[in-house]
Each structure stands twice: as C-alpha cells, then as structure tokens.
Amino acid sequence: MKTDAKRQARNNYVKKTIKTMSKQMLADQTPEARQELLSKLYAQLDKAAKKGVIHSRTASRRKSRLADYVNKTTKA
C-alpha cells in the first residue's frame, strides 16, 4: 500500500504538471515562448507515456492538438 501511494503521488504530479503547462500554452504569450513551451511539453508527454502514466496514444493526441493550436496562433 505504501508503494501504491508513492506511485499515485508521482503519477498525479506528472499529470498536474502536464495540465499546468497546457494551460500556460493557452494563455497569452509570444510565439517564441509558445514554441519553447511546446518543446518542453512534448518532452513531458513523452516521458509520461514511456513510464505508463498516460497511454502513448493519449500523449500523441495531445501533442497533435497542441501543435495545431500553436500553428494556428502563430500564423494568425
């Protein structure tokens, strides 16, 4: 049970970090800042998928949607 609690805490931290970074992405920022945040977010999503915190297809879907958002806001 102790191990489960540790893993749950670690997983929740990773998920919360991803959510926070995603919200920062949606906030008003310069295109350069968004691009930098996008690369950091990609790394976080890949790590989470690799460790089994989220499913690999979920990570892929989120990365795709974030890239679409960044591309739309950069060109507009």
pLDDT digits (tens, 9 = 90+) for 35-70: 999 999 999 999 999 999 999 999 999 999 999 999
Buried b (16+ CB within 10 A) or exposed e, 20-54: ebbeebeeeeeeeebeebbeebeebbeebbeeebb
What are the chain's domains?
2-75 (1.20.58.110)
Q: How far is CA 14 from CA 32, 41, 71, 72, in A?
A: 24, 11, 25, 27
State the pTM of this model: 0.88
pLDDT at 74: 84
